[in-house]
């Protein structure tokens, strides 16, 4: 039995990443209703917005869904209280120390998954008592690890080192990458960028169009001195790069980034002055399509490959 | 039928990368004798050395083997003449324009494969008439692409864009990654770092031991301003990084690098002052073992996974 399906009580171990400004109740409920696990991205929500989003998601699906909470979120106590109070069954945590909240959530009957980018932090998450980890590679959009380990190299080392199941993330946008992730030792996949380009995503239409248009080499890992983040190339990203090359201090970089840039880009559609977080796999995304269709295509493609290992391409050993 | 097996007339589409200072006749013939394709790395050989190595490889195996020629090699005419004269059946080219030599080699009955790191250059190689391409991702050791596209994201886009078969490279060190590469659309794999840590490799024992010892985050893409190259962290790599951060010119970086650093590190075993080229997958390599055993393990592991898709881990769709 696949442990991720069992753990979450879902039909397919396909998880939609909880992405700031892109994943509200419409996207999360669509993915959960399609048999995967939808996630609300609480990192871009005020406490009252999260409360409202959870209620709307509960009204839109009777399947399990989760909330992603960045552990550095300023009003995290309020978020966690809302999550417990409203009976959210699963929480994904990221960007912080998993020791701080894991036991509190577990003692309230909530399953906890922590996002990591190295074996070192995967072991810390396991020691903190998480039920699973998401191991996310260098090609992923948004926040990223300092070691720059790619999904292909990260998943086997994490899977070899942990007892809890591993969910692969970074570079997964079609069924080929899903099978690759399972071959590497994952028991689930977390898909981000592909779900940005859906009608249900709360990303601005201009950002969705930009993700569809993105080609090879369109993203770059930036802000390495501050906290590495993969951005789509635009005027803002080039401004950040120039500031880094000019040897600006961490404080100057923080001032340039500000808190409003991500909202401006991804939610308000300012493609020049806004911050656009997306993964390398955007080069493979060439249309906006419904989230449920994406889940169905990932499952059907995976089935065709695993049942069809008679495909001559696989027959050489 | 697997097109790479057919093309080269080999038993398994497992190719040992032609790596400078590491892949002479002992390694190449061991891989070819085990059913894969061994490659001599001509980039670190004087013309008379290459001639001698080809003859020794021919004496050690009656199976096909290849020579890797970096197209920027200074005495390339002599190398190509030797290759034609001694009847080498396959040439892998890299680091340069595939138009320059492909037709000359083809007209001499030699199969030509070019190494690329982007769809853009893959299409150029195909237009130049190559029989296949190696598509190499960001995690690979040694010279690397400017787009920083990882193997997971690169292989599907290249496979979708080309008619000729694609060999995946970068991050492939065990059977899990081999299956992942085939899932992504490759019809062969090129394995580099794993074959450095073999008794047959001409790498210095101290470098082999360092590859075995390498853990997570031990490599980094360096010299981005000059020509990106993935190096194992050591005193030399830190010196290069410091020079880059100090804004040194391309000429100053070239002077620092010199021509002797790679030999000093990989061949002579100077782990401080030498340049050590290796991939991220070194974190998964934990012993020196014979090249033939590596090929056999890759094949057996692949067979077990593809025949054993009954493995509960794969059963979720």
The pLDDT score that the predictor gives to residue B231 is 97
Would you call A153 and B171 a contact, using CB atoms and an 8 Å cutoff? yes
Mean pLDDT of chain A: 95
Integer Cα distance of A15 and A189 in angstroms: 6
**CA–CA separation, A104 vs A84, rounded Å?**
10
Residue B259 pLDDT: 67
- Measured between beta carbons, the chain A residues lying within 8 angstroms of B181 are 180
pLDDT at residue number A88: 98
Does one domain contain both A58 and A119? Answer: yes
pLDDT level of residue B310 (50, 70, 90 thresholds): low
ipTM of predicted assembly, 2 dp: 0.95
Domain count, chain B: 2
pLDDT tens track for B211-249: 999 999 999 999 887 889 999 999 999 999 999 888 888
B54-61: average pLDDT = 98
Shared domain check, B220 and B105: no
Based on the fold, state whether residues A197 and A130 are members of the same structural domain: yes
Structure tokens at B210: 């360092």
User: How many degrees, rounded to 5, is the angle at CA B152 between CA B150 and CA B154?
Assistant: 65
Query: How many Å separate Cα A126 from the centre of its chain?
Result: 19
Q: Do B306 and A314 touch (CB under 8 A)?
A: yes
**Interface touch B317/A309, C-beta < 8 Å:** no
Q: What is d(CA B14, CA B8) in angstroms, rounded to the nearest whole number?
A: 11
Mean pLDDT of A51-66: 98
Q: Which CATH number covers residue B149? A: 3.20.20.70
Higher pLDDT, A316 or A65: A65
| CA separation for the pair B105, B111 (Å, rounded) | 7
Residue A259 has pLDDT above 80, yes or no: no
Percent of chain B with pLDDT over 90: 87
pLDDT value for A126: 98
Cα gap A314→B307, rounded to integer Å: 10
Q: What pLDDT band is residue B295 in, cutting at 50, 70 and 90?
A: very high
Give me the residues paired with residue B230 across strands: B142, B221
pLDDT in tens, B99-140: 999 999 999 999 999 999 999 999 999 999 999 999 999 999
Q: Which pLDDT value is given to residue A310?
A: 67
Mean pLDDT of A269-278: 97
Distance from CA of B317 to the nearest CA of A (A): 6
Give the pLDDT of residue A1.
81
Both tokens assigned to B15: 């190719």
Amino acid A59: pLDDT: 98
A298 and A224 co-located in one domain? no
pLDDT at A35 over 80: yes
Query: Two tokens at A34?
Result: 């399609």
Mutate one of A4, A5, A152, A305 to test the B interface: name it (highest B CB count within 10 A): A152
Residue A223's pLDDT is 87
pLDDT tens track for B27-41: 999 999 999 999 999
pLDDT of amino acid B249? 86
| pLDDT of A265 over the 80 cut | yes
Average of per-residue pLDDT across B75-88: 97
Q: Report the distance separating Cα B226 and Cα B253, nearest Å.
A: 7
B-chain residues within 8 Å CB-CB of A317? 12, 299-300, 302-303, 306
Q: Identify whether residues A276 and A177 lie together within a single domain.
A: no
Q: pLDDT tens, A80-105?
A: 999 999 999 999 999 899 999 999 99
Q: What span, in angstroms and rounded, lies between the C-alpha atoms of B103 and A21?
A: 52
B292: pLDDT strictly greater than 70? yes
Cα B157 to chain centroid, rounded: 20
Is there a contact between B152 and A139 if contact means CB atoms under 8 Å apart?
A: yes
Confidence tier at A20 by pLDDT (50, 70, 90): very high
Q: Are residues A75 and A141 in the same domain?
A: yes
Distance from CA of B104 to the nearest CA of A (A): 30
Interface probe for A, chosen from B183, B186, B228, B285 (most Cβ of A below 10 Å), is B183
Looking at the structure, tell me whether residues A178 and A305 fall in a common domain.
yes
Contact A149 B216 (CB under 8 A): yes
Band (A246; pLDDT cuts 50, 70, 90): confident
Average pLDDT on A112-128 reads 98
Whether residue A117 is predicted with pLDDT greater than 80 in this model: the reply is yes
| Cα-based distances in Å from A226 to A139, A144, A162, A223, A229 | 18, 11, 29, 5, 9
A285 Ramachandran zone, left/alpha/beta (phi>0; psi -120 to 50):
beta
| Minimum-distance CB partner of A147 among B119, B147, B216 | B216
Q: Which residue has the tokens 């089935």?
A: A303
Question: B163 and B275 share a domain?
Answer: no
pLDDT for the residue numbered B48: 98
Closest residue in chain B to residue A166, using alpha carbons only: B313
Q: Enumerate the residues of chain B whose CB falls inside 8 A of the CB of residue A13.
A: 316
Residues A215 and A191 grouped into a single domain: no
Residue A125 has a pLDDT of 98
Is-contact A190 A172, C-beta < 8 A? Answer: yes
Query: To the nearest whole angstrom, how far is the Cα of B128 from the nearest Cα of chain A?
Result: 21
Looking at the partner chain, which of B153, B284, B312 has a beta carbon nearest the beta carbon of A171? B153
Which of A184, A283, A299 faces B153 most closely, judged by CB atoms? A283
Q: Quick one: closest CA in B to A119, which residue?
A: B216
Please say if the pLDDT value at position B308 is more than 80. no
pLDDT score of A23 more than 80: yes
Full domain range(s) for residue A268: 205-281
> Which pLDDT score, from 0 to 100, does residue A7 have?
97
Contact between A152 and B152 using a beta-carbon 8 Å cutoff? yes
- Considering the domain architecture, whether residues B102 and B186 belong to the same structural domain is answered as yes
What is the pLDDT, as a whole number, of residue B162? 98
Q: Report the candidate in B127, B156, B151, B129 with the shortest Cα–Cα distance to residue B138.
A: B151
Average pLDDT, chain B: 95
A220 CA: distance to closest CA in chain B (Å): 8
pLDDT beyond 80 at A188: yes
Does residue B63 carry a pLDDT above 90? yes
Q: How high is the pLDDT of residue B193?
A: 98
> Which chain A residues touch B220 with a CB distance below 8 Å?
148
- Provide the CA B266 distance to its chain's centre, in angstroms: 15
Beta bridge partner(s), residue B116: B135
Probe site for chain A from B313, B314, B315 (most A CB atoms < 10 A): B313
What would the DSSP string read from start to end of chain A? Answer: --HHHHHHT-SS-EEE---TTT--HHHHHHHHHTTSBEEEEGGG--HHHHHHHHHHHHHH-SS-EEEEEETT-TTHHHHHHHHHHTT--EEEEESS-TTTTHHHHHHTT-EEEEEESSHHHHHHHHHTT-SEEEEE-TTSSEE--SS---HHHHHHHHHHH-SS-EEEESS--SHHHHHHHHHHT-SEEEE-HHHHSSTTS-S-HHHHHHHHH--TT-EEEE-TTT--EEEE-SHHHHHHHHHHHTT--HHHHHHHHTTTHHIIIIIT--TTTS--B--GGGGG--S---HHHHHHHHHHHHHHHHHTTTSGGG---
Q: Which residue of B has its CA nearest to A217?
A: B147
- Model-level pTM? 0.96
Tokens 């830190």 correspond to B238
Are B175 and B46 found together in one domain?
yes
Residues B161 and B253 in one domain: no
- CA of A75, closest CA in chain B: separation in Å? 33
Q: What is the mean pLDDT of residues B253-276?
A: 91
Name the pLDDT band for B253 (thresholds 50, 70, 90). confident
- Cβ–Cβ gap B303/A316 under 8 Å: no
Which residues on A lie below 8 Å from B300 (Cβ)?
Answer: 317
Nearest to A284 among B157, B182, B220 (CB): B157
Report the C-alpha gap between A25 and A35 in whole angstroms: 15
Q: Mark yes or no for CB contact B174/A156 under 8 Å.
A: yes
Chain B: give the shortest CA distance to residue A80, in Å.
32
Give the A:B interface size as CB pairs under 8 Å: 162
Mean pLDDT in residue range A219-232: 91
> What is the least distance, in Å, from the CA of A45 to any CA of chain B?
31
pLDDT at B50 over 70: yes
Number of helical H runs and strand E runs in chain B? 14, 11
């Amino acid at each position: 039995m696949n442990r991720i399906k069992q753990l979450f009580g879902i039909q397919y171990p396909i998880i939609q990443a909880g992405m700031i400004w892109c994943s509200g109740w419409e996207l999360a409920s669509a993915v959960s209703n399609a048999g995967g696990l939808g996630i609300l991205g609480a990192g871009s929500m005020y406490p009252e917005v999260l409360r409202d989003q959870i209620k709307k998601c509960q009204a839109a699906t009777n399947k399990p869904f989760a909330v992603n909470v960045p552990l550095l979120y300023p009003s995290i106590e309020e978020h966690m209280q809302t999550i417990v109070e409203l009976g959210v069954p699963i929480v994904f945590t990221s960007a912080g120390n998993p020791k701080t909240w894991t036991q509190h959530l577990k003692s309230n009957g909530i399953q906890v998954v922590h996002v990591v980018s190295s074996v070192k932090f995967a072991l810390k998450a396991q020691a903190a008592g998480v039920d699973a980890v998401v191991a996310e590679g260098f090609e992923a959009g948004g926040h990223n690890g300092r070691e720059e380990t790619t999904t292909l190299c990260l998943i086997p080392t994490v899977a070899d080192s942990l007892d809890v199941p591993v969910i692969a993330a970074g570079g997964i946008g079609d069924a080929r990458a899903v099978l690759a992730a399972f071959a590497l030792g994952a028991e689930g996949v977390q898909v981000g960028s592909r779900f940005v380009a859906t009608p249900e995503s709360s990303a601005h239409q201009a950002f969705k169009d930009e993700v569809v248009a993105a080609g090879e080499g369109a993203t770059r890992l930036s802000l390495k001195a501050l906290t590495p983040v993969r951005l789509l190339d635009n005027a803002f990203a080039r401004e950040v790069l120039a500031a880094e090359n000019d040897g600006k201090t961490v404080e100057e970089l923080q001032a340039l980034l500000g808190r409003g840039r991500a909202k401006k880009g991804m939610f308000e559609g300012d493609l020049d002055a806004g911050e656009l977080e997306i993964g390398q796999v955007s080069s493979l995304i060439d249309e906006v399509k419904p989230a449920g269709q994406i889940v169905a295509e990932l499952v059907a493609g995976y089935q065709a490959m695993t049942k069809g290992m008679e495909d001559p391409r696989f027959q050489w050993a």
